[in-house]
């Protein structure tokens, strides 16, 4: 991952991917695996918040997404679900949500100061040292908590189709951070 501060040269940080399990991914969201038909809704199911708009469930056709990234984004108003069709292996860079109440909130670690997104909310830019990369293998998907920073999906194959559940205007209001 590359991260640039104003007036700084970009640096590269090499991260080792960790397998996404319900325990390892818990600070960022949920890992959802298959369950028998007829099971009742419970904590093993995706805990969604799609209350701020019209849900959009669609197939993303992605190509050429190598294992590296230089930008990361978050969605402050919605949870998001991502999974590869066919259970192909894929990767996602993540950092914990960092939405704050306003510009007057104290700066974060390393002097990070709150910024305002084009969507109107305030956030602390993620610390590159706190970014993790997860490997998702098999027939499961990830549910990202509101505000979770993410980069990807990334994969080794030439192309992978993903299902994606978010709001219909999620990508209109998303802001990429270099």
> What was the pLDDT predicted at 11?
73
pLDDT beyond 80 at 32: yes
**CA separation for the pair 147, 6 (Å, rounded):** 24
Encode pLDDT of 65-107 as tens digits.
Answer: 999 999 999 998 889 999 999 999 999 999 999 998 888 755 6
- Tokens (6 digits) for 92: 């996602």
By C-alpha distance, which of 18, 158, 20 is closest to 83? 20
Encode pLDDT of 116-170 as tens digits.
Answer: 988 889 999 999 899 999 999 999 999 999 999 999 999 999 999 999 999 988 7
**CA separation for the pair 101, 66 (Å, rounded):** 35
**What is the domain partition of the chain in residue ranges?**
13-33+46-173
> What was the pLDDT predicted at 106?
59
By C-alpha distance, which of 102, 120, 123 is closest to 112? 123
Hey, what CATH topology would domain 13-33+46-173 get?
Jelly Rolls (2.60.120)
- Side-chain half-sphere exposure of 47, counting CA atoms within 13 A: 9
- Tokens (6 digits) for 152: 């990807």
**CA separation for the pair 114, 110 (Å, rounded):** 12
């Amino acid at each position: 991952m590359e991260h640039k501060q104003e007036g700084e040269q970009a640096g590269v940080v090499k991260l080792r991917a960790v397998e996404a399990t319900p325990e390892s991914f818990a600070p960022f969201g949920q890992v959802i695996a298959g369950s028998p038909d007829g099971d009742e809704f419970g904590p093993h199911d995706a805990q969604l918040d799609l209350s701020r708009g019209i849900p959009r469930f669609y197939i993303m056709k992605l190509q050429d997404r190598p294992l590296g990234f230089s930008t990361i984004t978050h969605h402050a108003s919605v949870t998001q679900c991502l999974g590869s069709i066919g259970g192909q292996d894929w990767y996602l860079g993540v950092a914990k949500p960092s939405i704050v109440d306003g510009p007057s909130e104290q700066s974060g670690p390393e002097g990070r100061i709150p910024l305002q997104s084009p969507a109107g909310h305030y956030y602390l830019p993620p610390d590159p040292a706190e970014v993790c990369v997860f490997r998702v293998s098999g027939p499961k998907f990830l549910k990202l908590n509101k505000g979770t920073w993410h980069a990807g999906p990334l994969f080794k194959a030439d192309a992978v189709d993903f299902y994606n559940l978010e709001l219909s205007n999620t990508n209109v209001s998303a802001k990429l951070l270099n």
